[in-house]
Structure 1
Amino acid sequence: MDEPTRQAKQPVTVLAGPYGHPVHPILVTVPIGAWVASLVFDVASHLVSPGGFLAQGSVWLIALGGIGALAAASVGFLDLFAIPPRTPAFRTGLVHMGLNLAVTAGYAAGFAWRLSEPGRQAGPVPVGQIVLSAVCLAVLAVSGYLGGKLAFRYGVRVADEHTQAEGFDTARTTG
């Protein structure tokens, strides 16, 4: 294995998670789950009467997603430092990070928009706010694809093949 590949597999600091166990992938489940659920709540606020409780729940979910995104971005940034510059993996990481920052900014704007209209939470979520959330989720899906490319195609922060082979050794019985 060449040095750039080996470098991209090693953590920059223990805060990013140990070798073969990065923290970033588990933390991204918080904003993804919260933001998907917020869109479900937004749409559902039009299907029940009164829908205000779902609109309020959606605001809380957007806030939770924002907090989770900040945590995921912190360790994701550490993982980006592990990738050698001027490589396709590094460029992919930069686009992945940029899209995630744009999505987080979109949700922050949506959160502020919702808080600026406190009386609106008594009824269903306005269509414009639902569209903003849907667009942000679409961009997040593209970014998630790129994150998968970083891990599964380029092997960033993934154990090397020799280490992975231990899991398929039929002679070994310990796990």
Structure 2
Amino acid sequence: MTNDLEQAKQPVSAALAGPYGHPFHPILVTVPIGAWVSSLVFDIGSRIVDDPGFLARGSLWLIAIGVIGALAAAMVGVLDLMAIPTGTRAFRTGLTHMGLNLTVTVAYIVAFFWRRATSAGPGPVAIGPLVLSVAALVALAASGYLGGKLAYHYGVRVAAESTQAQGYTRSAA
């Protein structure tokens, strides 16, 4: 078990996935999360303000930025998944995390084209695409919970406790 745990902490490729103790995946996921949460804020705003067109267009762009960011995060995330030994709870959790994220990304791709096809000009975001965004964000939150479980519960790509202990060594004043 110790060898499996140490294996999950090491990058498959430090150049692509980030060096030991500094994985790139958690950094990259902030792009789609921020873009998609912001797009929902814009969606809701487009239904409140008098001139909703700019918010609807902004939401469409935020969805596109989120999809691009999600694809980048997914490429690095797959490398982190490959470091986890198969047949373990951590690996199954990683597969579920990945599956949810792919589902969310597909939902936003569908939302992007749905919005482009049904955009009636300067009006607010339609209720259908808005509901799809809410559902996708709920799934994203569930996936984020699993991602946190991978890092904080199972220690995937987190430095070993012996490495962490170095940060708590008191220096001579």
TM-score (norm 1): 0.96
Mapped to 1, the partners of 2:62 and 2:121 lie a distance apart of 14
Percent identity reads 64
The alignment yields a C-alpha RMSD, in angstroms, of: 1.2
1:170 matched to which residue of 2? Answer: 170
The residue that corresponds to 1:158 in the other structure is 158
Could you tell me how far 1:172 is from its partner in structure 2? 6.7
- What TM-score does the superposition give when structure 2 sets the normalisation length? 0.97
| Alpha carbons of structure 1 residues 96 and 121: separation in structure 2 relative to 1, 3 Å | farther
Counterpart position of 1:134: 134
Q: Deviations over 1:6-30 (max 9, x none)?
A: 0000000020000000000000000
**Are 1:23 and 2:24 counterparts?**
yes
Is residue 2:38 matched to residue 1:37?
yes
CA deviations on 1:27-62 (whole Å, 9 max, x unpaired) are 000000000000000000011111011000000000
**Residues 35 and 121 (structure 1 numbering): CA distance in 2 closer, same or farther, change over 3 Å?**
farther
Q: Could you say what secondary structure the match of 1:170 adopts?
A: coil
Which residue identity does 1:142 align to in structure 2? A
**Count of residue pairs the alignment pairs up:** 172
Structure 1 runs (4+) greater than 4 angstroms displaced: none
Counterpart for residue 110 of structure 2: 109
Aligned partner letter, 2:44: V
Structure 1 unpaired stretches of 5+: none
The aligned counterpart of 2:67 is 66
Provide the C-alpha distance between the structure 2 equivalents of 1:36 and 1:53, rounded to a whole number of angstroms.
17
